Amino acid sequence: MRTNQRRILPPRLVAVGTATLVLALCAASAHGAAEAGVRIPSEATFAEYIDNLSEEYSYFTVSNLWLLVAAAMVFVMHTGFAMLESGLSRSKNTVNILYKNFFVISCGLVTYAIVGFNTMYPPETFNGILRFGGWFGIDPDKYMEVMSSRSGNNYAYWTDFIFQAMFAATAATIVSGAVAERIKLYSFMVFTILLVGIAYPVAGSWTWGGGWLERNGFVDFAGSSVVHAFGGYAALAAVLVLGPRRGKYDAKGKPRAIPGHNLSLAALGVFLLWFGWYGFNGGSVLDAHPERVGRVFVTTSLGAASGAFAAMIVCPLILKKADISMALNGVLAGLVGITASADTLNPGAAMLVGAISGALVVVAILFFDRIGVDDPVGAISVHGICGTWGTLAAGIWGEGKFLWQVVGCLAYALFAFAVGFAIFSAVKFVMGVRVTAEEEDEGLDVAEHGQQAYPEFTGGK
């Protein structure tokens, strides 16, 4: 048996990581102490609240509940991502993929609480470009206000936080798929923390936190650019720095197919993603408005379906075979594309947006494959290219102004690419990003984790 219990963590990283964690916990506990004075409503006031339920409060309660359900559905999307990524990669890297996915969702939630939420939604003043926020605590004087419909929102503050935190982790999950099978585990972790903890909330605040793009009328309903294209272009930068998997390209630079090990899992993942997307888009209404949520469900479904449809037509035309992974990516492409304008499109336009996404993704995957960008799950094409297309479509058939949609999606693409490139290069410089050739051949499961996902099938080392 190989010795893979060498050093798991570089000592430098341990020191930095520990220091960061201690600081974060100190900050959090300090805020916790400050919050001890929060006037949590007593039983009597809640009884009063229930007695006085007006129509407005009933609506608030229903909307709040819908948002919580939607948050849980977005959480399910992470299951979907995990299944999709593991299904589309080789069995020797399964443990690694699952490990990374659990890390991403955990890290996403934690960093979002520590800095992300208040950076993305600056609570008070905001110059429109950047304002770093701290712990997501509440001003005690405003407690009841932000917990009730008096805030003007149809959700409580806690609900808002958890819904947005589930979104945050999504951006990093996208990268995880693109860099699968060759990235060093701890390098990926550091990269994720910086991307999801700092870069994503800053970019998100431009559109959703009242930043400069929002002030200029840029429209991105549930995050075609804010979440998906951001993740997609960060992934592109990471893949360029990282390089392709060994054996992906032959000596002449011609791409070879490296099929995934379990397409059932991949299909399950896409089904789960499709399901979760109803929460992703439907919850983004931030309201349980019957007509709007209904419309979003319809446009989301039609986008996904016509995305798959288009991919199922275009792929056989180009590849001469009915490739299931292309069909799966067609579904996701349709979903990503429709996300920017799901609340405003007519069903017909939604189908058009989804269909163009589905066709686009097939072409984009083949294109990136051809030019030497090795993306095992097609994340760059699905999330990056189709995210941009969806954002533009919001300016064509949706309520956005086309030129500002161009400015906005360029801003996201460029920012994500530049930041992703900078962070990833820095990580590469400090700790390296790529496992050795032997480790890669052997599989990251054994090399990085000393475990196997399917020991019985591969001889159980």
Partner 1 sequence: MRRLFEYPHARWIFPVFGVAVVVWFVLAFRVVRSNDRMERIDDGVGADPAAVRVAPGSSYFFTWGVTANPRSRVIAMRGLPDDERYGDTYTQAHGVLQQLTDDLSVVGLTLRDVAHVRAYVVGDAENPPDFEGWDRAYSEYFGTATMPHRPARTTVGISRLFITAYRIEVEFVAVVPDGRGPFVAGSVPAREYERSGRAETNDGWRSYGRMRWPMSTGKAVAPGRALLFSAGMLAAPMNPTMPERHWMYGRVDAQAASILREGLGILREAGLGYEDVFFMRTIMFPERNVGIGRNFGIFNREYSRYLNNEDNPNKPTRTVMSAPGYTYRGQLMALEMYALYGQENAPAFDNGPLVGFGAGSAAGPAAVAVDPAAGHYWLSGVTVRDREGLSLEEEYRAAFAALETRLEQLGAGPEAVASLRVYIAGDDGTAESVALWTEVAEAYFAQLDPGPATTLMPVVALPGGARVLLECFAAVRP
Q: Which residues bind partner 1 (CB under 8 A)?
A: 39, 56, 124-129, 141-142, 144-145, 150-152, 210, 212, 214-217, 236, 240-244, 253, 291, 344, 371-373, 398-399, 401, 403-404, 406-407, 410-411, 413-414, 417-418, 425, 428-429, 434
Nearer to partner 1, 217 or 455 (CB): 217
CB of 240 to partner 1, least distance (A): 6
Q: Which residues contact 130 (CB under 8 A, 6 or more apart)?
A: 202, 205
CB of 327 to partner 1, least distance (A): 27
CB of 444 to partner 1, least distance (A): 18
Query: Around Cβ 54, how many Cβ atoms within 10 Å?
Result: 9
CB of 272 to partner 1, least distance (A): 32
CA 387-342-306 angle, 5° bins: 70
Residue in the block written with tokens 């300090």: 30
Residue in the block written with tokens 């993704």: 361
CB of 164 to partner 1, least distance (A): 17
How far is residue 179 from each of residues 14, 164, 304, 373, measured CA to CA in Å?
23, 25, 25, 10
Query: Around Cβ 5, how many Cβ atoms within 10 Å?
Result: 7
CB of 233 to partner 1, least distance (A): 10
Q: Which residue, among 176, 178, 226, has the nearest Cα to 204 in the 3D structure?
A: 226
CB of 418 to partner 1, least distance (A): 8
Q: How far does Cα 162 stand from its chain's mean position? A: 14
Task: Give the integer Cα–Cα distance in Å for 212 and 205.
Answer: 9
Nearer to partner 1, 9 or 426 (CB): 426
Nearer to partner 1, 214 or 442 (CB): 214
Nearer to partner 1, 150 or 461 (CB): 150
CB of 278 to partner 1, least distance (A): 22
Nearer to partner 1, 47 or 414 (CB): 414
CB of 306 to partner 1, least distance (A): 22
Q: Which residues contact 61 (CB under 8 A, 6 or more apart)?
A: 53
DSSP conformation letters of 381-412: IIIIIHHHHHHHHHHHTSSS-HHHHHHHHHHH
DSSP state, 197?
A: I
Nearer to partner 1, 218 or 274 (CB): 218
Q: Which residue, among 86, 444, 91, 99, has the nearest Cα to 265 in the 3D structure?
A: 86
Strands (E), 86-150: none
Nearer to partner 1, 121 or 274 (CB): 121
Nearer to partner 1, 103 or 233 (CB): 233
CB of 89 to partner 1, least distance (A): 19
Q: Which residue, among 99, 142, 134, has the nearest Cα to 117 in the 3D structure?
A: 134
How far is residue 435 from each of residues 44, 217, 372, measured CA to CA in Å?
60, 44, 19
Collapsing DSSP to helix, strand or coil, 434 comes out as strand
Nearer to partner 1, 31 or 401 (CB): 401
Q: Which residue, among 284, 273, 173, has the nearest Cα to 231 in the 3D structure?
A: 173
Nearer to partner 1, 99 or 417 (CB): 417
* Exposure letters 382-402 (e unless 16+ CB within 10 A, then b): bbbbbbbbbbbbbbebbebee
